[in-house]
Structure 1
Amino acid sequence: MALTHAQLWRGLDALAARQGMTPSALARAAGLDPTSFNRSKRFGPGEPPRPRWPSTESLTRALDVAEVSLGDFARLARDAASAESVPLLGMAQAGADGFFDDAGYPTGQGWDRTLLPAAGDARFSLKISGDSMTPLYREGDVVIVDRAVTDVRKGDRVVVCTTGGEVMAKEVTRLTATRVELGSINPAHPPRTLHPRDVDWMARILWVSQ
């Protein structure tokens, strides 16, 4: 089934969010003009505004950078089209006039969107305990993880469950066929090294509520 205009653009937003990027940063990483995926490029002039579509080349480059197949992107785009989102603005812009009303709520043009993780059978939340990931994650913080995300890579923050039943939040520092190396943000906690056979499951952290 073909993607609609809204699904395609929401899919690119979701793809960027999965990489920990803004749409502009994703475009830059793909070797494109940083404004290629901006909201201002999604509609042209006219009344009503004329929908604009990303080129096949720009979409392919973005998928290559994210190491996501076209089929996986299509599924992501369809899920993202029904996901909730909130306004997004860079901190450097937030002090300028025109972005907030008198009550402090977002208003005007220039806002992007941040997609919030949608509910799904493979997604669940966990409450952080301990201090191994402070100051990034503190005791009592709630993280949302996704068991369906299998492309875990170096630098990802994850929740790991060992075959012995230990559950921990860590950062992936190295991932090979024979080693899973996990680091803590808090230097007081030493790194952990596991063999893949000792890992029951590993899920990427999508969101944290602090």
Structure 2
Amino acid sequence: MRHDDIWRAIDSLAAENGLSASGLARKAGLDPTAFNPSKRIGPDGRARWPSTESVAKVLHATGAGVEAFAALVSGQAALPSLSRGPRPTRRIPLIGLAQAGGEGFFDDAGFPVGGSWDEISLPEISDPNAYALEISGDSMEPVFRDGDVVIVSPASPVRRGDRVVVRTRLGEVMAKELKRQSAKRIELASLNPAHPDYSFDLPDIAWLHRILWASQ
């Protein structure tokens, strides 16, 4: 368990409840600045970890369980188990990976637009622009296979090691793992070793969204 993984889990829990990191801290009865990025590294450069008490208050405030939080730490989504009771469902766009590269399915910000798509139901999440993408090809095997459906959230924070959907300025859409991102470039890994990794200049990327979970 790494320092970055714990903070990613807190950021993800905030996003999945429609909150910023400071909003989550406030909801949990903590100092609103407790989860600010500036508080995660001390003046001496040493990593600061959230206290057990802080994590417990966050879980209580959001209704999440320890297992749900552990799933977020590992990079998975906690959506199916965040609520103690039955969750309402909503219908979201289902877009094929090949379709996603065409015009008319996403706006300039990467949010789904139009209406020429299928829909699927899923447990309610806070991101109003969440959508589903049907994987095609084998570049994400053995994690995601041809025909699997992944749930994608434009609002969720993205960290190194997350599985993401990326669209380039040329209209190419791909599902990869974020290997590295700097101020100038982004590196993407294919989970299938038979496929190459990719590297792009940031201006060549139209948008990058995190994959929350998959229906397999």
Q: Taking structure 1 as the reference length, what is the TM-score of the superposition?
A: 0.49
Q: Taking structure 2 as the reference length, what is the TM-score of the superposition?
A: 0.48
- Which entry has the higher C-alpha Rg, 1 or 2? 1
